[in-house]
Amino acid sequence: MRRALPKFGADALAFALLNRGKKSIAIDLKQPDAISTLTPLLKDADVLLEQFRPGVMERLGLGYRQVKALNPGVVYCSITGYGQTGPKAAVAGHDLNYAAEAGLLSLTTGSDGAPTLPNTLLGDLGGGALPAVVNILMGLLYRRRHGAGLHVDVAMAENLLMFPYSAIGEGFSDGRWPIPGRERLTGGSPRYQIYKTADERYVAAAPLEQRFWLTFCDAIGLSPQWHDDERDPAGCIAEVARIIGGKPSSHWRGVFAGRDVCAVISATLEEATADNHVKARGIFAHYVKSDGLEIPATHVPLDPQFRKPAEAAGYPLLGEHDHLLRLTDRNS
C-alpha cells in the first residue's frame, strides 16, 4: 500500500490516511531470528491481528498455538475471505468476490439487469474490520472473565450475509427469495427510490412510513390517486419521476427544507465533506501530515470522548520505530 498512487509525501495517500498515529517495526518473518526478535512483543501483546491465508502464520512459527505458548492471554484475530475452515478456506478473493458470493450483488441491478458495482468496500469494512473490532472486544472481555485468551475467526464473505437479513429470513420462512431490483428497498417501491431532477442531479427519497409518505406527496404535489402506492408501484414511480424531473435540484432542496419528507439531494463527496452539519460535528477536525503537507484525516467512527483532542499527526515510515523493539528486548 505504501507504493500505491496517489502519493502524499513519500508514501501513498491511502497508507497515510489509514495509518495515522501508528508505529512501524519492520521484521522479515522468514528470517531465522524473526521469532526471537518478536518474542518480547508477543509476550506482552493484548491482541495479535493477522490477515494471511489459513496455515501461513503456522508455517512462519506464529500460529495461534505457537503464540499462545508464549502468551496464554493473547486475543488472536485472523481476518480472511472465507474463514479458517471449510472448502473455500484457501481460496483467493477480493471485496467484489465476497459481495458476489454473499448474494449482495444480485439485489440491486442496473437498467440492463446486470448487478451494479458496490460504491464502497463492503467486505473489507462491513465484513472484516468492524466485525473484527467487535470480536476482539468480546475476546478481551472473555479473557477478563476466564483468564485466558482465544482465537477469533473473522470471515469477510460470510459476515456479509448479515446485511440482507430480511430477504434471507423471507426466503427461509416461505421460500420467497428477492427479485433483483424489485423489492421494497432495492427499487420496487416509490417510497425508496432515486429520482433524476431537471438539472441532472438526483433526489434520494426514503419516505417509507405513511406519515412521511403523505408529507412527501403533498410537498411534490402528487395527485391523491397515487397516495395508495401499492396498487401500482411502477406507475407511481413513473409519476413521481415525472414530477421530480420537471424541476431543478435547487427547487426541490427548498421544497424539502424543514419538512419531514425523508428526501434529500444526493451529494457529491466534495459537498458531503463541506456540509455544515459535518463541520459542526467536527468530523474532519483531525489532520494527517507528511513532509510539510497536511490534510484532514479519515473519519474514525468513535464517540469523541474516546479520541484524543483534534491534532495533526503523521504516519510511520517503514521501520521507523525498530528501536522500540530493541528497548523492549533489553528490558525483558
Q: What is the pLDDT of residues 4-25, one digit of tens each?
A: 999 998 899 999 999 999 999 9
Q: Is 94 a catalytic residue?
A: yes
The whole model's pTM is what? 0.90
Instruction: Supply the DSSP string of 84-144, one letter for each residue.
Output: SSSTTTT----HHHHHHHTTGGGTSB-TTSPBPPPSS-IIIIIIIIHHHHHHHHHHHHHHH
Pairing type for strands 202-205 and 193-196 reads: antiparallel
Query: What CATH architecture is 189-276?
Result: 2-Layer Sandwich (3.30)
For 46, half-sphere exposure in the C-beta direction (CA atoms, 13 angstrom radius) is 9
- Nine-digit cell at 260? 419531514
Q: What's the whole-number mean pLDDT along residues 86-102?
A: 96
3.40.50.10540, 1.10.287.3510, 3.40.430.10, 3.90.650.10: CATH of 51-165: 3.40.50.10540
> What pLDDT, on a 0 to 100 scale, did the predictor assign at position 269?
95
Q: Indicate the burial class of 9 (C-beta count within 10 angstroms; 0-12, 13-18, 19 or more).
A: middle
Overall average pLDDT of the 254-275 stretch: 97
- 254 burial (CB, 10 Å; 0-12 / 13-18 / 19+) is exposed
**Cα–Cα nearest to 72, from 147, 8, 137, 125:** 147
| Element housing 203 (H / E) | strand 202-205
How far apart, in whole angstroms, are the C-alpha atoms of residue 157 and residue 124?
9
Collect all residues with Cβ–Cβ distance below 8 Å to 39 and sequence separation of at least 6.
70, 332
Q: What is the mean pLDDT of the chain?
A: 94
The x, y and z cell numbers of residue 38, run together, are 518478536
Query: Catalytic pick from 28, 44, 46, 124?
Result: 124
Grid cell at residue 42: 508477543
Largest CA distance in the chain: 80
Which strands sit side by side in the sheet containing 193-196, from one edge to the other?
Answer: 193-196, 202-205, 263-265
pLDDT band at residue 329 under the 50/70/90 scheme: low
CB contact set of 125 (below 8 Å; sequence gap of 6+) = none
- What confidence score (pLDDT) does residue 328 get? 58
Q: Which of 44, 46, 94, 146 is catalytic?
A: 94
Place of cell 473473522: 154
Confidence class for position 26, pLDDT limits 50, 70, 90: very high
Per-domain residue ranges for the chain? 51-165, 189-276
List, for residues 209-219, the tens digit of each pLDDT value.
999 999 999 99
Q: Reply yes or no on whether 329 is catalytic.
A: no
Could you read off the pLDDT of 304-315 as tens digits, one per residue?
899 888 889 999
pLDDT greater than 80 at residue 164? yes
Look at residue 9 in the predicted model and tell me its pLDDT: 87
pLDDT class of 327 with cuts at 50, 70, 90 = low
